Amino acid sequence: MCGITGWIDWEQDLSEQQAVLKEMACTLKERGPDREGYWLSSHAALAHRRLIVIDPVGGKQPMLFTRGEQTYALTYNGEIYNFRELREELRARDHVFRTHSDTEVLLHAYVEWGEDCVDHLNGIFAFAIWDEARQQLFIARDHLGVKPLFYAQVGSTIVFGSEIKALLAHPLIEPILNDEGMKAIFVSIFLSGGGIFRDVQELRPGHCATFTRERTHVRQYWQLVSRPHTDNLETTTEYIRSLLSDTVSRQLIADVPVVTLLSGGLDSSGVTSLAAREFQRENQVLNTYAINYVNSEEHFEGNAFRPSIDRPYAEQVARDLPTNHHNIMVSTEELIGNLLVPMRAHDRPTMGQMETSLYLLFKAIKQNATVALSGESADEIFGGYPWFHQEHALNTPTFPWIAARMNPGSNTPLMQMGLPFVSPALAHELHPHEHMQQLYQEALAEVPRLEGESSRDTRIREIFYLNMTRFLRLLLDRKDRMSMATGLEVRVPFCDHRLVQYVWNIPWEMKAIDHIEKGILRRAFRGLLPEEVRMRRKSAYPISFDPAYTQAVRRWTLEILNTANAPVNTFVNRAFLRQLAEHPDEQKRGENAYFLFDYLIQTNAWLQEYHVVTS
């Protein structure tokens, strides 16, 4: 994994602009702590920050390929998991390779197939290729959006980067928050995506773009295809298991230490089991990692989202396989002390404690490893969340994860789809209900329909699409930013697009076989896990139940509300937030409340540190 950035201008000579390019690249040093590289020509300037994972000597970037009068320059972030097969295919087409890196394979794939190279890739990637002869820039992002990529166009200038901060380091890009950016920060906070600032755009997952002096062309190169599922239950189960086995095996390839995340849930335990067996074939023991919180278990209160504690299940899997298991304990002091790290990594306010804790986990892992495998995205692909099974969430015309947190018929502001923490004036200006409905309808319009489906199956398909294209992006962004903030690469086997496409068309009755969420996946993992773990009910990512955390963020929130010139106070409902912080009643207490505190704290710091200007 790495950080990439660059600058194209068809009307300006960029060959002497390394100072600006270096400033852009330096913002990404956490993503690529091992090496930096630059390449400049008359109208193109590319930079790369490298995290060494494969071929330490041969994978230097930007990487160049010259054939006659043609020169191609590549800067790339990610891993191509089928690079070995592609290298052999390209060798058969007379390509000669000088390194063992997937970077060189990607560059030659573009030389051979042009923009269609993306159709040959299996992996997680964001890359940019400059064609010097044609004076053309090509950028692309992986199928599910595991790796980020942002760009901005201002006149004849195009700048791009792995993170928005790289674009902001360019003198033409300013932190101006327009109407759409305001809505992203204060309305659609449970939806990831978008550039936030004026002129900045995010390249969507499964998309690529070509830029020339004359035109810009953005296209979708991959999308889900709906078709009847004809495999029977046994064949489906076996195929899922074989696909996952192949995917995990590919994703273990690295020239640095590889570990897995092990929460004790079905998804991470399944990935860990497959990985541990690969390690055992090499007479090695897999290292696994889990997060827990100081002073938390004694205050744990189970609910629909977190019915049980992770630790006993993770330890059971570690004993059974076995693995060398590491239980990382995180304190409230560490969570509070690092609360602003996610904001700086995302260049925007985020999910607070759920991201801070992940950062601390990855920071601990990085001391001993550079690559980790995660169970992320299985719930979106197989239907593991409670809202897949709640009639209210299924039938409410909004995003199901929002509907699941609403109390039907309640007038309690915190549980409504509106935003009580936003000032009435701003809410009136932003029209939150209308904006969320617009986003919701736009998403529904994209759903690949299957003719002849029942209304129930049609709705289930919609719910899956919303989760896979909207909610999953939120989690993948979290995983990318928090891992790369520590220089750790996290791979996600359940995001293999072959698996995602296959599971997409499995009927709901088969996905939820045995009357339990992700029933088909549980069958695929039969014999690989202890039965108590294989049949364990879904429990969401763990949070701290230490009362000291809520008390700390309440105090921090009140400090901000009591500071007259705190920038966030212009935008929020101070009376509502003060009431919540000073007198949290039973209904408003807990995760919903401290999420608001976390978000307010990060938003205030973001407005200050990024010198945000509202248009």
Q: Which residues sit in the known binding site?
A: 102, 261, 291, 374-375
CA pair distance 360, 362, nearest whole angstrom: 5
How far is the C-alpha of 591 from the C-alpha of 305, rounded, in Å? 11
Where is the binding site for ATP, in residues? 261, 291, 374-375
Position of tokens 């990024």?
610
Phi, psi for residue 129 in degrees, rounded to 5: -125, 125
CB 492 within 8 A of CB 480: no
> For residue 114, what are the contacts with CB-CB under 8 A and spacing of at least 6?
none
Q: Which of 2, 117, 208, 495 is catalytic?
A: 2
Q: Would you give the DSSP letter of residue 397?
A: S
By residue count, the chain amounts to 615
Round to whole Å and give the CA distance between 580 and 590: 11
Q: Is the dihedral of CA 484, 487, 493, 497 positive or negative?
A: positive
Q: Would you call 2 a catalytic residue per the annotation?
A: yes
**57: DSSP letter:** T
Report the C-alpha gap between 505 and 453 in whole angstroms. 12
Residue 428 CB partners (closer than 8 Å, separation 6+)? none
Known binding residues for L-glutamine are 102
For the chain, the maximum distance between any two Cα atoms, rounded to a whole number of angstroms, is 73
The span from the CA of 41 to the CA of 132, in Å, is 8
Q: 200 — alpha (psi -120 to 50), left (phi > 0) or beta?
A: beta
- Contact in structure between 534 and 526 (CB atoms under 8 Å): yes
In the numeric block, which tokens belong to residue 74? 């590549």
Q: Where in the sequence numbering do the catalytic residues fall?
A: 2
